[in-house]
Amino acid sequence: MRIGILTSGGDAPGMNAAIRTVVVTGLAENHEVVGIPNGYVGLLEGKSRSLDMTDVQGISGFGGTMLGTARSDKFREEEGLQLAIQRLGELKLDTLIVIGGNGSLTGAHKLARAGVCNVIGIPASIDNDIGHCGLSIGVDTAVNTIVEACDRISDTARSHRRAFLVEVMGRQCGFLAMRAGVAAEADIIFYGEEDLDEAAIIQRIRNVLQTSFAPGSSKQRVLIVKSESVDFPTYKLVQRVQQHLPVDAPGVELRTTILGHVVRGGRPSAMDRVIAQRLAYAAT
């Protein structure tokens, strides 16, 4: 059997562990395994290369994806989809394994309906927003990265008696903010699903600042974790809150940190490696 594998969309720590497991398991069953570079972009270009044990040795501990990844606007169009179906036939694949998030697995579903070959999706997204999936590849590492960052920020916040607002990734899902915020002992956690308006968000922050830094309070820091799913730009939120600081918390500064793509990188945790290995073994 000839197995193709690609990674698509945003990279997630643990993707390489999944790739390695597909190769190791496939070769053990006397299958041929080929890697398609740069996701659906590579598929549309008809690119592939054979993968053997030397290609995947030691990659489970690396972040990112050794196959490369990309988002393809062309693939979303009917013409692009038909070209991808044509390429699958030209590559003579019996099975295509797609590792990625919502958009990538939606594309895999469309390819599967064409019936050219078996198509199997493996959920990999730090956002943890994939339906019917309790914990996708990359989530645990992302949460740990956020918690470590918040712990470091809390060290300096306590030293200077400051408040910090930390924005984290997650697209339209507040899982990362909630899980990491609880673990890091955040004073406030904002996530899009709560659907608060701007006035309510500002008032909640003001209430916490007033209580935490009231005269006689021994509290040294306030940590606010905000998901990017909250429809209130962080810079604007900070500016609005800072207008009230002289009254709510005299002498206290509010600083902000947007973690951004730092959350995606880094060596995958043991849990993400094992999740990836188990899913990839089942897929192969």
pTM: 0.95
Query: Which of the four pLDDT bands, split at 50, 70 and 90, describes residue 41?
Result: very high
Asked if residue 152 and residue 249 are part of one domain, the reply reads yes
Q: Please give the pLDDT value at position 14.
A: 98
Query: Which of the four pLDDT bands, split at 50, 70 and 90, describes residue 173?
Result: very high
Q: Which residues are catalytic?
A: 127
> What is the rounded average pLDDT for all residues in the chain?
97
- Six-digit token string for 124: 């990999």
Into how many domains does the chain fold? 2
- Six-digit token string for 125: 């997204």
**DSSP tag of 124:** B
- Six-digit token string for 67: 């196959």
Asked if residue 125 and residue 11 are part of one domain, the reply reads yes
CATH number at residue 192: 3.40.50.460
Name the percent of the chain in helix, strand, coil, to the closest 5: 50, 15, 35
Residue among 92, 81, 73, 72 at smallest CA distance from 114 = 81
- Domain extent for 126: 2-138+268-283
Asked if residue 112 and residue 93 are part of one domain, the reply reads yes
Residue among 174, 235, 247, 237 at smallest CA distance from 207 = 247
Read off the pLDDT of residues 202-240 as tens digits, 9 standing for 90 and up. Answer: 999 999 999 999 999 999 999 999 999 999 999 999 999
Mean pLDDT of 275-284: 97
Length of the chain, in residues: 284
